[in-house]
Structure 1
């Protein structure tokens, strides 16, 4: 009787170990899938942040139309000579794209 109980106990322990191993393998696979999903989410958030930073840097470094100062003024001489080369007083700064668009609008208006 004691031997039968020992055999049954050993069989139940072995079956329990087998079930635990199967569940551990399934849990490891599930955790690996969840980790991959989490990694993809993190990487997509990082990529979005980098794209946002790149866009802001591109906008900040956009070239502005800033013509070279004219050393010798043409036409009627100005009264104020001291700030001849001061760029802050002259033409308002605009991007080169805005300048081209303004030229197109002027040509359209003169053509009409």
Structure 2
């Protein structure tokens, strides 16, 4: 990122903010300008600073599996970390994380 001082400052500001409060970083722009490279550098920098980084990619915008990316994102998160969520949301996450949905109760619409 050394050749992108503006982006480097934005990432540093984001990580500083994220260490104290919920924060978001949006990387946008035209195709081919280096968004993926910037994301990967941000990912590595965050991890090196002790952040827990969850990352997943949806292979296509029209994924056949509606929750495939969310499942990938949450697969390694311990179930206990969802304990403080309202029951409807916790149930939805538990259902998404299970491999077998055949005999599961329908997801409460309030959880979506």
> Could you state the TM-score of these two structures normalised by the residue count of structure 1?
0.18
The structure with the largest helix share of the pair is 1
Which protein has the larger Cα radius of gyration, Structure 1 or Structure 2? 1
Structure with bigger RCO (C-alpha 8 Å, 6+ apart): 1
Normalising by structure 2, report the TM-score. 0.18
